[in-house]
Homo-oligomer: A and B are copies of this chain.
Amino acid sequence: MVRVTVWNENRHEQKNPVVRDIYPEGIHGAIAAFLQDEFEVRTATLDEPEHGLTDEVLQSTDVLVWWGHLAHGEVSDEVVEKVKQRVLDGMGLIVLHSGHFSKIFKTLMGTSCDLKWREADDKERLWVVDPSHPIVDGIGEYIELQREEMYGEHFDIPAPDQLVFVSWFTGGEVFRSGCTYQRGNGRIFYFRPGHETYPTYHNKEIQRVIANAVKWAQPVDRKRPVYGNAKALENGGN
C-alpha cells in the first residue's frame, strides 16, 4: 500500500476562522481524510520538530503532498535539501496551489515559479488537455470550481513533461494548472487549485485528481543509477 505523507504549513487554519470553518482538521486533515481509503496516510506540519519530516518519516514516505503559503521562508533549508534528495531517489511529490512558491518546488524547477494572482472569487474551469493521462482517470472534460483564487500566465516554470490541465478564469486569464515533471528517480505533479478560503479540497473531482496523482507518482522499484568513475564494459574501450 502506497505510503503518503500530507504536509501542511497549517498557519491559516490557526489565524483565520474562515479557513478553520472550512477545514476544521486543517487542510492536511482534509486531504488525509479522502486519501486514507486507498493509501496509508500520515500528516506532518511546519511547527512540528523538523517540520514533521524526520529522516524516518521521509524514508518511509512513497509520496509527499505539499501545501504551503504564508511561511515558505520558515521551512529549513536542511529539510528542503532532504526532501529534494528523497525525490531524486524516487519519492513522488504532489505540490498544491501556493506551493508553487515553496522552496522545494523552486529548487526542483530551477526557475522563479512566479505567476499572476488575484483573490476575487473568479470561477475556474480546469480543462483536460491530455485525456490519456492516468491522473484524469474518471474525470470529465473539465472540472468547474465556482470560486477560486486566480493564477494566471505567465507561470515561470520549465515546460512541463506532460501538461494535463489548463485553467480558464472569469477575469480573462489562463493557467497551466496540472503539470508533471520527472526529476531523478522521482515524479512530481503540480496541481493549481486549493486556496485556503474556498472548500476546494472537499470537491470530489479535485479529490479524485489528487488520489490519481498519488498513484501515478508512486516510486518505481529501482535503485538510483550508479554515478561516477566507470570501467569500460567493452574491450574496445581503451
Contact = CB atoms under 8 A, between A and B. Distances in A.
Interface of A: 88, 90, 107-112, 114-118, 120-123, 125, 127-134, 136-139, 141, 147, 150, 152-156, 158-159, 161-163, 166-174, 176, 181-187, 220-222, 224-238
Given A131-B220, A230-B152, A166 B172 contact: no
Nearest to A169: B237
Top 10 A-B residue pairs of the complex, sorted by shortest distance between their CB atoms: A171-B237, A171-B232, A172-B233, A154-B225, A114-B227, A116-B230, A172-B234, A121-B238, A137-B220, A110-B110
Nearest to A156: B184
B111 A238 contact: no
Q: Which DSSP category, helix, strand, loop or mixed, fits chain A's interface?
A: loop
A189 B128 CA distance: 22
A238 to B, nearest CB: 4
Contact of A132 (B132, B169, B174, B187): B187
Contact of A183 (B110, B186, B230): B110
A128 B221 CA distance: 13
Contacts of A109: 110
Contacts of A112: 88, 184, 227
Contact of A170 (B88, B167, B236): B236
A198 to B, nearest CB: 13
Contact of A186 (B132, B162, B181): B132
Contacts of A185: 131-132
A155 B125 CA distance: 16
